[in-house]
Structure 1
């Protein structure tokens, strides 16, 4: 396996994105950008997520050396409305009720920068999700099972969420916030292979 001396920096505070990278054996350092994201119904959603991912990557790029910075931004659309993170629990429940029996679209932009070479690569991936019909009386019963609501659309398709969110078209990991297939293609565009950054743990000889 090719040895890569560059570090991977995740310019995001998203636990799910960090977990996805670690599940692939990619050790990384988390440096949240602290940048304010835009949310404007008059701007096409692809431009919004790409803008947000870009400013986060560029902010963190200034703080590191000999590294590849990865940033991402996810938003949801329903009936033409762009939906970000809910304001609070009440707003998250409102969104869950709104999505009941409906189709939603999940857009995630990924922006990467090789700090050493200044090469950049970026793209937007879309996935479609069908939300199961939920009776009003079951909203309060189901909501606590869906985990933290501090994410675009206020939902998670993991765990109990798999009971509600089905008929996925597109990347499952894109819905979680980081499509590894899309990330690999973006690495290739700047002359890198993400597989070279995978750290495979040594197997216990006694196992």
Structure 2
């Protein structure tokens, strides 16, 4: 069970992140951040995920300066062959991503940032999980893309949804692959509540 030191605001429109927080006993306010998620040249997956998480949390916290609440920002990317796969731009892009992941192990990287809106104090961290996907044939990819499920997900799949049957194994935190690494959130909440 998560125990935020103050009311929590989720700086994300992700229903999966909201569900995970609810499963952990927290009912956050939801206030999606409006930030440019384009990957800057030379960004590593890790720096991109943590940087975007921090930017999202700080943007929302700025609108609540001085208030007794905590803002949570997160950003998830999928990495294969050193390439960052964000959310697909369309169905063709989703099919390309799934074909690139087929029969391989890839990495899911999520940056998490927490901002105390009263003090401006920020803590952040990173989770990484390795995911092994079985071989997918073209028909499977087309059928999955046609469901629409992959279109709003990094790497074009949801492990907690229809694509669960594609995943042969994971090494690391399952909640990270869903989109919000709860063990890391717990650690960061404790850091935020501790001495600066």
SS at match of 1:178: coil
Q: What's the TM-score, normalizing by structure 2?
A: 0.90
Residue 107 of structure 1 contacts residue 124 of structure 1 at CA under 8 Å; is this kept in 2?
yes
| Deviation larger for 148-157 or 72-81 | 148-157
Q: 2:103 aligns with which of 61, 84, 101?
A: 101
**Aligned partners of 1:32, 1:159: CA distance in 2, in Å?**
23
Q: How do 1:89-168 and structure 2 match up within 5 A?
A: 89-144=91-146, 147-168=149-170
State the distance in 1 between where 2:91 and 2:148 align: 12
Deviation at 1:135, TM superposition (A): 1.7
Could you tell me which residue of structure 2 aligns to residue 7 of structure 1? 7
Specify the SS of the correspondent of 2:152.
coil
Q: Deviations over 1:48-77 (max 9, x none)?
A: 111111111111001122100000001111
C-alpha spacing 1:146/1:89, structure 2 compared with 1 (3 Å): closer
State the alpha-carbon separation in 1 of the partners of residues 78 and 6 from structure 2.
Answer: 33
Q: Which residue of 2 aligns with 1:27?
A: 27
Structure 2 unaligned segments of length 5 or more: list them.
Answer: none
Shift of 1:139: 2.2
Matched-pair contact (CA < 8 Å) for 1:7–1:28? yes
Rounded Cα–Cα distance in structure 1 between residues aligned with 2:29 and 2:108: 26
**Is the CA contact (8 Å cut-off) linking 2:102 and 2:134 kept in structure 1?**
yes
Shift of 1:160: 2.2
What is the match of residue 203 of structure 1? none
12-21 vs 112-121, greater mean Cα deviation: 112-121
Q: Deviations over 1:125-160 (max 9, x none)?
A: 100001110122332234345724211111101132
| In 2: Cα distance, 1:42 partner to 1:13 partner | 27
Corresponding residue for residue 87 of structure 2: 85
Shift of 1:186: 0.4
Q: Which piece of structure 1 moves more, 175-184 or 146-155?
A: 146-155
Q: In the aligned structure 1, how far is the partner of 2:47 from the partner of 2:4?
A: 32
Quick check: 2:9–2:70 contact (8 Å CA) kept in 1?
yes
Q: CA deviation at 1:113?
A: 0.8
Deviation at 1:14, TM superposition (A): 0.9
**Residues 146 and 159 of structure 1 are in contact (CA less than 8 Å); yes or no, is this contact kept in structure 2?**
no
**Which protein shows a greater Rg?**
1
